Amino acid sequence: MIMKIKTHELIAFSCFKEKPVMRFARFISAFVLIGFIATPLLPRVAHAELSITVDKGNFQPMPIAIADFVGSDPETAAQMSEIIRNNLKRSGIFQPIDKAAFIEKNVNFDAAPNFASWKAINAQALVTGRVTKDASGKLKTEFRLWDILAGQQLTGQQFVTDAALTRRVSHIISDLVYSRITGEKGFFDTRVVFVDETGTKDKRVKRLAIMDQDGANARYLTDGSELVVTPRFSPTSQEVAYMAFGDGDPKVYIMNTETRQREVVGDFPGMTFAPRFSPDGQKVVMSLAKGSASNIYVMDLRSRATTRLTDTNAIDTSPSYSPDGSQIVFESDRGGTQQIYIMSATGGGAKRISFGEGARYSTPVWSPKGDYIAFTRQKGGQFAIGIMKPDGSGERILTEGFHNEGPTWAPNGRYLMFFRDQSGAAGSRVYMVDTTGRVENNVPTQNYSSDPAWSPLLK
């Protein structure tokens, strides 16, 4: 009987209340399941480790020791050590230690240094090297970079070159040290084309010149018979585009800095100015003045075909490509004052990105890394060099004063050169600043200098 009742109940249960029952059963089972699942997820106090977040630091250039290179040619070796020392110091990221403080005076290049003795003078890294000349006159340069704190070699290489390339090898070694420590590409093995200025302020002679990025090894590219301005390096070759005032209208020229051969870019009626190469080096974008208006044109260097990119009655100038070549940043007074705009590389609508109150922006240059746009800003009678993100945010002024102008990017996008005038009769000088604005160095030139254009890394 009992069994019957039970079966009856079960049947009744299943027949009449199956759905609500199942619903509840699901609910309960889900609840229990959640309990099972959730319990292991309950917060547990991790007592195995003490977690610390360090979100502040105290930037200090890294103390680095550059031991004098050893070898059969002590003079060359010492010169190379000095070039490397100077390069690393100018980067602002390293603080070379005075040689006089070295405890281990003679470093054996083929053995690990005495880390303790370098640690004692607070060196965090050590560069050692050896320079030898073989029978054919070739220069063999070897170097090692040591991590003193970790007690291990970080990198080491050797180069066999012509004896005349001492400076370049030194720059290459500097780049290797720099990039190994910072994780960024180097920029020491580069050159800068600039306008060398001599004569009085009223009668300046402007010649195109080229030098190593450290100001050494300068030589002229033009003879000073015509006025030259705004040289711009090709990002892919050793060619420079610039504007020269010859007999007729000022024209844009391209010159090979190795061969010094030059040619006019396009044949336009009217003045062309503010040229700049595309990232692939195949095109030149520039301004063409017609009447009171200036518009932006691009010319394909192979086909010589030109395309008009803007069509305004305003002055659109200083175009600069984004590193991917898809966009162009330029300055325009179409809104009433000089401001920075971005448009597609094929032209079309432009979007203003500079909005500083009471400020005029000019000479925008897109960083080779793409993360910033450098510019000159005029505000309150002061000229500043600054950077902003391509969307116009994060504006950061790197230097400001009587007159600063014409930023140009190092190929690694972490440094800028520009030229600065002090008030008075003195001419301008070229300076280098990093994107934090913390590191600033004069680039030593024999005469006054302006309009620097930084080359890509040499090949």
Partner 1 sequence: MKINWSEPGVPLSAVIHAALLLATLIAFTTAPNFEEQPESIAVDMITTDELTALTKGDKTAKTVKPDAKIKVDKLSDQPAPKPDSGEAKKDIPTPAAKPPEPQQDQKPEPPKPEAPTPPPQPVKPEVKPQPVPEEPKPEGLKQAPPPKPEPPKPQPPKFEADQLAKLLDQQKKAQPPKPAEAAKKTEPNFDPNALEKLLQSKETPQKMASTGTELSKTSTAGSATGTASKLTLSQRDQLSGLLRDQITKCWSPPAWVTGADNLRPIIRIGLREDGSLDGLPVAVDSSSDPSMKAMEESAIRAIRQCAPFNIPPQFKSYYADWKSLAVTFDMKAML
Instruction: State the minimum distance, in angstroms, from the CB of residue 44 to partner 1.
Output: 5
Residue placing its CB nearer to partner 1 in the complex, 9 or 162: 9
Angle between helices 74-90 and 166-182 (to 10 degrees): 40
CA atoms 291, 297, 301, 302: torsion sign: negative
* Closest-CA residue to 240 (of 252, 227, 225): 252
**Binding segment toward partner 1, per CB under 8 A, in 105-113, 174-182, 379-387, 398-406:** 174-182
Beta partners for 351? 342
Side by side, the strands of the sheet bearing 239-245 are 227-233, 239-245, 251-256, 262-264
Question: Does residue 80 contact residue 129 with C-beta atoms inside 8 Å?
Answer: yes
Subset of residues 344 to 383 that bind partner 1, contact rule: CB under 8 A: 369, 371
Residue 436 within binding range of partner 1, rule CB under 8 A: yes
Instruction: State the minimum distance, in angstroms, from the CB of residue 19 to partner 1.
Output: 11
**Binding segment toward partner 1, per CB under 8 A, in 5-13, 204-212, 292-300, 353-361:** 5-13
Residue 407 tokens read as 């930023």
CA distance 364 to 110: 49
Q: Which of 53, 259, 292, 303 binds partner 1 (CB under 8 A)?
A: 53
Backbone angles phi, psi at 408, to 5 degrees: -140, 140
CA distance 200 to 195: 15
**Torsion-angle region of 71 (φ positive above 0: left; ψ -120 to 50: alpha; else: beta):** left
Q: Which of 179, 236, 399, 447 binds partner 1 (CB under 8 A)?
A: 179
Question: Does residue 451 contact residue 443 with C-beta atoms inside 8 Å?
Answer: no
Give 222-227 contacts, CB < 8 A, sequence gap 24+: 224/198
Q: Which of 55, 98, 110, 263 binds partner 1 (CB under 8 A)?
A: 55
Q: Which of 1, 48, 164, 425 binds partner 1 (CB under 8 A)?
A: 48
**Binding segment toward partner 1, per CB under 8 A, in 15-23, 230-238, 346-354, 443-451:** 15-23
Instruction: State the minimum distance, in angstroms, from the CB of residue 260 to partner 1.
Output: 35
**Binding segment toward partner 1, per CB under 8 A, in 189-197, 344-352, 357-365, 430-438:** 430-438
Backbone angles phi, psi at 166, to 5 degrees: -55, -45
**Binding segment toward partner 1, per CB under 8 A, in 41-49, 232-240, 322-330, 380-388:** 41-49
Residue placing its CB nearer to partner 1 in the complex, 31 or 402: 31
Give the largest CA-CA distance in the chain. 125
Subset of residues 118 to 137 that bind partner 1, contact rule: CB under 8 A: 124
Instruction: State the minimum distance, in angstroms, from the CB of residue 276 to partner 1.
Output: 23
Q: Which of 60, 106, 136, 303 binds partner 1 (CB under 8 A)?
A: 60
Q: Which of 19, 40, 303, 380 binds partner 1 (CB under 8 A)?
A: 40
**Sites of contact with partner 1 (CB under 8 A):** 9, 12-13, 16-17, 20-21, 24, 27-28, 31-32, 34-36, 38-40, 42-45, 47-62, 93, 124, 149-150, 179, 181-184, 369, 371, 414, 434-436, 438
